[in-house]
Structure 1
Amino acid sequence: MMQSALLVIDLQNGVCKPNQTIFNYPNLIAKTNKRIDYYRFHNLPIIFIQHEDNSLQKNSKAWKLVPSLNYKKTDILISKSHPNAFYKTPLQETLTNLGVNKLEICGAQTEYCIDTTIKMAHGLGYRLIMQHYASSTFDNKYMTAKNTINFFENIWNKRFLSFI
């Protein structure tokens, strides 16, 4: 039997900056909260991943989760300093202890921490699922945020994860 967990990656004040426009932000938060509610209702683990570096210093306002997330103190928090949420973190040990072998992914930024964590989790043998547009990013000088998301979702689809 598959034991599932929800990974909410880097939905932090300093990642979802008010002076930049993260693509489809209100819908991303609404979709994430809906999935959080689903996992909470079914007593399944919810793990919030927070990036930590020079611009996202632990316990700073930028490091904190965006206030509109349905976070509870009983949810699991894991801090990371690399785009790969498994790199030098207790994530894999936590998932093993919980008996988790299936992960649902959501959060930011699509081309960095989401992509890296998806590929690493796949390589570790986790079954991965995701909703379309459950990750987001910003426009860059090469592609719009929407094109970036579509590009990565196309790579992930049926190779690294299944869309639900």
Structure 2
Amino acid sequence: MSATYQLLTGEEIICENLPTSMCAFSISATGKRCLLETANVAGEYTCRNSAVEVEGIVNHVESDECVAACGVDRKTVGISSDAMMEPGFAAKLCSPACFDYCPNILDLYFNLAAGEGAFLPDLCDAQRTNPHRSMMEMFSSGGAPEPAPGPVSDSSAPALAPAAM
């Protein structure tokens, strides 16, 4: 599969005209992300324009190299942050091969992370610091290390204020 459909065909990319095997992670001539969806027939898919605009990238089909480097799947249906919760995904997404050379995929997941209240570069820094931590743990903690546990008391009684002197 070629990295750029437009170069092969000489045409502007219209999501609805793309083969479903090239749909996910593609961007139309109008700068809208293409979206793979399930069709009315079981097991079949369609490609269509989404409402999501990409700034600065048009007529783009993601390369096989970036798909592999970033750990994404061309059979991804819809646009969602779900993949970010899968074990090992953060390591691939944050790898230099993806982070430094695949701006389309990074833009998508940067915006998905922001929608979850996180900043992707911070999540990647946290992942590099503690590679065994899942992306879900990083999202829930904002990428910061967990606080050290404080003293534990057996008592369920409320604490009393100090006596006045």
TM-score class, shorter-chain normalisation, is under 0.3
When the two structures are superposed, what TM-score results if normalisation uses the length of structure 2? Answer: 0.27
Q: Normalized per residue, which structure has more strand? A: 1
Q: Normalized per residue, which structure has more helix? A: 2
Bigger RCO (CA 8 Å, 6+ sep): 1
When the two structures are superposed, what TM-score results if normalisation uses the length of structure 1? Answer: 0.27
Larger Rg: 2
